[in-house]
Amino acid sequence: MDTARFIFFAIATCIATVAAHVYLYRRLFADTSEHRTWRRVGMTLMTALAVPLILSWSVTRFIPMDSTFAVATAVWTWMGMSIYLLLSLWVLSGARRVAARLSRTRSGTNAQTNGDSVEPRGQTHTAGATEPHATLAATGTEAVSRPSVMEPPTHGASEAHVAIAASAPVDADRRRFLARATAGGAVLAAGGVTGFGMWSAFHPPVVNEVAVKLPGLPKALDGFTIVHLSDIHVGPVIRRRFMDELVRRCNDLRPDLMCITGDLVDGHVETLSPAVSALSELKSRHGAYFVTGNHEYYWNAAAWSDALERMGVQVLRNRHVRIGDAAASFDLLGVDDWSAGKMGFQQSYDLGTAMAGRDVERASVLLAHQPSNWKVAAQQGVGLQLSGHTHGGQFFPFTLAVSAIWEHDAGLFHEGDRHLYVSRGTGFWGPPLRVGAPPEIVRVTLLA
């Protein structure tokens, strides 16, 4: 990430983080009690949670990963929980406002109805009643008109009564009770969703089986299997234990080919090699292949490419290889990340170079971190593209945002007889949460 982008990102996240924590302090502490001690505790806690969150994006770049593991796990878990706290507070506060408005509307309607239904006593005539003009005639005195104390309010008075009632001050104890109920409900809801999200993130990824008819695939390769991983994000939270279990599960699927479509790491080679080296234990008939994602460029893509080659994982940087033997084979193409050029890196996505020298009539599979250029690749003869990057949104409500932003957000897509699979990712980035977008290992079966 270049300096300008990093500075802009840092400032934007700092402002958003401070604003969110000020709001949480007000709703969880200031509104729920007037005790100074309670408010001081809240202010201290929010500050203690906000500062590491602001620093987390930069500190982990300079401090050894082993020393930041526990802090990073706690800080990014709080990031996810704070998002759900904000959502819960907004939903519950909105529900309170709607309920209060409905209650005021009902009260006003009832008051108006009761006022209009009372018959004015001054217009009621009884047998012995005497009209004012009769009194004048009998006594010769001037009659003074006085409104009856029993006369009901007019329609305008009724409206004024309702307005006064509506604007009457709310009981302080009741307001405090509602604030505490809202805060407590939000904490319970956010805690529950965060707990589920963490369980889902660290739970072994689901295996999704996909069958794709690949144009031009030789009959001898019918049933060829590819295990596809993407967006593992080995870093401060995802470590060797996670990788060992992931490798074991992949090997249990007995694939013909292993493919990893970028965003493998969030750290430097010297720091993360012990965890990433678990990939050297991958077993498949035709080996393991990797293409860069945007995160590799943040941490020196060239250094990581060399390190992976030493671990036995072949890196395809805008080139293709032949998978199979002389009797039956297909082309496996790999390109660098789509956004690398926009970030100012010299070596970036180059589909033309990757396809150079190959027979376009041959069956082909393209590994590309982002699904951005799939339709162009399909027009140029690529039968299947495997991608990731989107995480499927990773956790709600970002699942909705990603589906709105990306045309191909997650899953299998078709364009004629050409196909694209976008993985939701195998790990996670930032908050260790998966809600509405579980992690996955994709097992693709190629059909002739």
Let me know how many helices (H) and strands (E) the chain has, helices first. 13, 12
Give the C-alpha separation, 206 to 119, whole Å: 73
> What mean pLDDT do residues 15-23 have?
95
Is pLDDT at 139 greater than 80 in this prediction?
no
CA distances, 183 to each of 83, 269, 376 (Å): 14, 44, 51
Q: Which two tokens stand for residue 144?
A: 């003074």
Q: Using DSSP, state whether 410 is helix, strand or coil.
A: coil
Tell me, what's the pLDDT at 76?
A: 87
pLDDT reading at 140 higher than 50: no
Specify the higher pLDDT residue, 107 or 323: 323
Average pLDDT over residues 6-35: 91
- Predicted TM-score (pTM) of this structure: 0.81
How far apart are the C-alpha atoms of 391 and 4, rounded to whole Å?
Answer: 26
Tell me: pLDDT of 13 over 60: yes
- Specify the pLDDT at position 116: 59
pLDDT at site 211:
98
Give the lowest-confidence range in 86-90, 112-116, 186-190: 112-116
Tens digits of residue pLDDT in 228-262:
999 999 998 899 999 999 999 999 999 999 999 99
pLDDT score for 113:
67
Looking at residues 295-323, what average pLDDT do you find?
97
Average pLDDT over residues 270-277: 96
Averaged pLDDT for residues 413-440: 96
**pLDDT tens string 153-195:** 455 444 545 444 445 455 788 899 999 999 999 999 999 999 9
Tell me how many degrees the CA angle 48-191-436 measures, rounded to the nearest 5.
115
pLDDT at position 101: 86
pLDDT over 70 at 68, yes or no: no
Buried b (16+ CB within 10 A) or exposed e, 350-378: bbeebbeeeeeebbbbbbbbbbbbbbebb
Distance CA 116, CA 127 (A): 26
Angle at 365 between CA 361 and CA 368, to 5 degrees: 130
Does the pLDDT at position 132 exceed 70? Answer: no
- Going by pLDDT thresholds of 50, 70 and 90, the confidence category of residue 141 is very low
Region 294-319 average pLDDT: 97
